Chain A
Amino acid sequence: GENVEQHPSTLSVQEGDSAVIKCTYSDSASNYFPWYKQELGKRPQLIIDIRSNVGEKKDQRIAVTLNKTAKHFSLHITETQPEDSAVYFCAASIGGAAGNKLTFGGGTRVLVKP
């Protein structure tokens, strides 16, 4: 089955700096790569996603890049703010299954220091 590795496990940045989280996946059949943000005691919420036919996607301060050849994808957060502090999970999904069977990475705990 699919295996998703995520690094780093913790990330501390100064407010206004950029944060980068990297993930690798094992199954070349994966074609959907979402990123979820989970605040303490809250539900995971989708912040951005990318499909395998796209190399980069941006939404305001958040961007995701995908390298299918290397089987890795990254989340970039620019101009970080204290409210960006949370745990971020990458995930990968293999097409062909009914619905969306997501395999999550181990998570990155991001702390933005004011």
Chain B
Amino acid sequence: DTEVTQTPKHLVMGMTNKKSLKCEQHMGHRAMYWYKQKAKKPPELMFVYSYEKLSINESVPSRFSPECPNSSLLNLHLHALQPEDSALYLCASSQAQTGAGELFFGEGSRLTVL
């Protein structure tokens, strides 16, 4: 199984809503990532978890709250988002050792904030 599965595929939420994005992988990878991708732009790193601990936070606003409940799951909790947060949110995983190779990306969750 070389897949990273993300749910939901599409999400529309108001600025006062609370929602969560979910990501799952069963490749035994111990590094998991959240990226944000705006239209016609490259993916931008948000968070990195290594062995279920947050190792990198790229100065992301606190309205985005990541969680890694176990080695296979990664969540992104969303609260009080702004319309400019509308984007494709990509989850990825890789081996966790220093200088690891390929990141495997999920298909993404397309978020629209009204």
Interface residues of A (CB under 8 A from B): 31-32, 34, 42-46, 49, 89, 93, 95-107
Interface residues of B (CB under 8 A from A): 31, 33, 40-45, 48, 50-51, 55-56, 90, 94-103, 105-108
**What is the minimal beta-carbon distance from B50 to any residue of chain A, in angstroms?**
4
- Kindly list the 10 A-B residue pairs having the minimum CB-CB distance in the complex, ordered from nearest: A99-B31, A104-B42, A98-B50, A95-B99, A43-B105, A100-B100, A46-B102, A43-B107, A98-B55, A44-B105
Where chain B touches its partner, the secondary structure class is loop
Chain B residue at smallest Cβ distance from A100: B100
* A42–B9 alpha-carbon span in the complex (Å): 11
A95 touches B43 (CB 8 A): no
Known: A42-B107, A44-B105, A100-B94. Is A107-B99 also a contact (CB below 8 A)? no
B105 touches A105 (CB 8 A): no
A49 touches B45 (CB 8 A): no
A46 touches B103 (CB 8 A): yes
